[in-house]
Chains A and B, each alone.
Chain A
Amino acid sequence: MTTQHTAQKAMLIATGLTAACALAACGGATSDDENGSNGNGDGRAESGSAAETGVSPLLLLGDSVAAGQALPLGQALAESGGYFIDETSTGGGNVLGPNAEAQWEDLPERLEAAADGVVVYQLTSYDWGTPDEQHDAYEALAEVTSEVNADLILVSMPPIEPDEFYADHMDELATAAEAAQNVAGEDEAVEFLDATAVWGATYSREHDGDIDRSDDGIHTCPQGAARFTSWLLDELSELYPGFQPADPDQWANTGWSSDETFTGCD
């Protein structure tokens, strides 16, 4: 995985040059818009009740792992009357570790979209650093979140099966959750959610016979992303009394599972 900002810009420029063809070609080949996963379309169907509970707008920060989870979450939140903003980033999204500086350059501005709502940061597989550095980064995130009058929810990352890329950083990743928990303990506007209930303590591709995780050992698969979404909505309903999550029947099979974000799942 690599930071893609430059590539994305270049792609956008090139796409502009070939707009007609690209639009025709890609309109049917991607499903983001259809899924409302980027905060568009269905994601804008915010209801007054969801906003009143404080759970909307909900902005998700994270890396490419979270990007997969954003797909059902966007659908589920929309069906629950919330406004979802996907600010995950493939190959990045981390608030410390490699290229975090790039994330911080415009993070405060991006978080403005979550004003009076919730920012969910799923700890990323790039959150490399000492416990103190992790603590400082999460604390800094809490500060910029509070500046837009939003709550911050820190969520532990799914355990991974490290390849060479991650092998040297597993000790650092192991301390991230505790650092996040400490920040939550020090700041009333910050909550920490341990997603071990969803993923287990160690990487497991299957859960009750279903494929939950990608065979790359890192990312999630649709069934796992759906289970995470259901769990997170339940947690939100506890944190925000009055918020009523939509039934999974309303969002689980709406087409998002065919998004090419999910790889290694068949």
Chain B
Amino acid sequence: MSHAPHAPRHSRPEPATRRFLEISTKQNSRTDGSEARALTATKPWAYVSSLDGLRGLAIAGVLLFHTGHLDGGFLGVDLFFVLSGFLITGLLLRETSGTGSVSLRRFWARRLRRLFPALATMLAAVTLTVWWLERAAAGMAANGEMVRTTLSDGPWVQLHLINWHLLAQDAGYWDAFGQSRLFAHLWSIAVEEQFYIVWPAILLLTAAVIGSVIGVHRRRDPVVLGWAVILACGLLAVLSLTLMILLLEPADPTRVYTGTDTRAFSLLLGAAAATEPARLLFRHLLQLLGRAAGTVTALLTAGILTSWFLADGTDAAGLFTGGLFAHATASAVLIGLCAEHHARPERGREPLQAVLESAPLRWLGQISYSLYLWHWPVIVLMAPELPGLSGWAHTSVVLGISIALAAASKYLIEDPVRFRAGWARGTTGAVVFAMASAALLALWLLLPQPAGPQIDVTRI
């Protein structure tokens, strides 16, 4: 099974963004209606620690799914999608409300700094490792076929198109066909990357339409902009769900499971939850529920997790005809409630928050991107046939190695590049990115492929 879920997104505005928000707030001294609302209504959610906890739950589900312990753990990917849509859209909307526009260059540069270093490192390390293992005949699960698929899949990962490549290769996600593909799990990363490329442009277009229809100044009104985004999200999400239903092949739903078009609704529902009207709705809902809010939120979480235990892969009734959509909707509501609850600390700390904000779960969420990147290659390369390992013992070893690699990736690569590496910004950063990309391309092209099996012509 080659499912793979996802990776993390940020929960904390990056330093540059925070500085920008502070500056823009100070500079906004005009007092016309929309400007005032922009200043008062969009107090940033900033870092929401419980969302890291949700990431931790999501990656745990995925890990248990891929190690054969939780048949519905693949739904963790869906939670990742919703989280990504929510967090990214929140950042974009804040920037739009503050400046009336979005700097695509800065946005994509941030995305690259966030995602590329860990990904490139994993790609290179895994490729060289499997190549060496095959040449050294070092056993384990590495073989010529695996090296060939790794080298051929690599460029598509780099192009953020691996999900479409795997579909074209007929590498069904739900059968054993993808077992030898070390990068099969990156389909979901590709879906998110494609979303990151397209979505800001759609938001800009939405803001432009608002500006042309009801006045330029109104596009900075978070409520007006929010309603427009909700409308866009709603239409696109319904279209996405419709495509999922129409394109579904019950015998093998790989197409609808890994297609960007058919999975977009999860990202879009997360995006809708990040808008100002949705935020107001969550606020009112929490006020309405009063002391029962904690119980309701806990029940919502329990419902989502229960679905992970009840879902049985493709056999789950209605999974692709509304089930995933319902899961994404519930996830979006939960995320919105968690974020709004976090923004109102006077409400006190509910039991659910205590769990989601617990240190182990938050830490798991914080390393979830790298953990997601590394876990599948580790699982494939460390097949259960390893002597003396099976069941939970094997799972423990696989997860232990994956977590160690993920932690190293987080602290040695992700964080330094995001927060401390001055060379990763501006022109220097672009040059480094281009050079690293070229090096990866050279890796795919120049690394000698193992020869295919020799045909015995005397036996045909």
Contacts and interface: CB of A to CB of B under 8 A. Distances in A.
Interface string A181-211: 0000000000000000000000000001011
B167 A210 contact: no
A216 interface: yes
Nearest to B170: A90
Most buried by B among A15, A216, A266: A266
B64 to A, nearest CB: 22
Contacts of B151: 29
Contacts of A27: 445
Contacts of A145: none
A98 B251 contact: yes
Interface residues of B, number: 49
A22 B154 CA distance: 11
Contacts of A257: 452-455
Contacts of A216: 175-177
Nearest to B197: A17
Interface string A1-33: 111101110110011001001101111111000
Contacts of B441: 21, 24-25
B456 A258 contact: no
B145 A6 contact: no
A221 interface: yes
Given A4-B167, A11-B161, A227-B460, A222 B455 contact: yes
Nearest to A18: B159
Contacts of B168: 4, 7-8, 11
Contact of B155 (A2, A3, A25, A221): A25
Contacts of B159: 14, 18, 21-22, 25
B459 A10 contact: no
Nearest to B254: A2
Contacts of A47: none
Contacts of A21: 155, 158-159, 441
A10 B164 contact: yes
A226 interface: yes
B167 A248 contact: no
A6 B255 contact: yes
A214 to B, nearest CB: 9
Most buried by B among A208, A210, A262, A263: A263
Contacts of A249: 457
B197 to A, nearest CB: 10
Contacts of A265: 145, 453
B249 A90 contact: no
Nearest to A67: B170
Interface string B129-146: 000000000000001111
A195 B435 CA distance: 53
B455 A258 contact: no
A229 B460 CA distance: 9
Chain B interface SS verdict (over half) = helix
A259 interface: yes
B19 to A, nearest CB: 33
A230 B460 contact: yes
B320 to A, nearest CB: 12
Most buried by A among B161, B170, B255, B453: B170
B172 interface: yes
Given A227-B460, A264-B180, A11 B450 contact: no
B259 interface: yes
Nearest to B142: A266
Nearest to A230: B460
Interface string B170-183: 10100111011000
B444 A3 contact: no
Nearest to B258: A7
B152 interface: yes
Contact of A29 (B175, B253, B444, B457): B444
A223 B176 CA distance: 21
A98 B456 CA distance: 37
A14 B163 CA distance: 12
A248 B457 contact: yes
B212 to A, nearest CB: 28
B155 A29 contact: yes
A230 to B, nearest CB: 5
A28 B444 contact: yes
Contacts of A264: 145, 176-177, 179-180
A222 B451 CA distance: 12
Contacts of B177: 1, 216, 263-264
A211 B144 CA distance: 15
A259 B452 contact: yes
A62 to B, nearest CB: 13
25 contacts: A1-B170, A1-B172, A1-B177, A2-B251, A2-B252, A2-B254, A10-B259, A24-B441, A25-B156, A28-B444, A29-B151, A29-B154, A64-B170, A72-B455, A163-B175, A165-B175, A216-B177, A221-B453, A226-B457, A226-B460, A253-B457, A257-B452, A258-B452, A262-B145, A266-B144
Given A7-B255, A266-B144, 17 more contacts: A3-B249, A10-B164, A11-B167, A14-B159, A14-B164, A22-B155, A25-B156, A28-B444, A165-B251, A223-B459, A253-B455, A253-B457, A258-B450, A260-B148, A262-B452, A263-B180, A266-B146
Interface of B: 143-146, 148-149, 151-152, 154-156, 158-159, 161, 164-165, 167-170, 172, 175-177, 179-180, 247, 249, 251-255, 259, 261, 441, 444-445, 449-457, 459-460
Shortest 9 CB-CB distances between A and B: which pairs? A258-B452, A25-B155, A257-B452, A7-B167, A90-B170, A266-B143, A29-B152, A252-B455, A11-B164
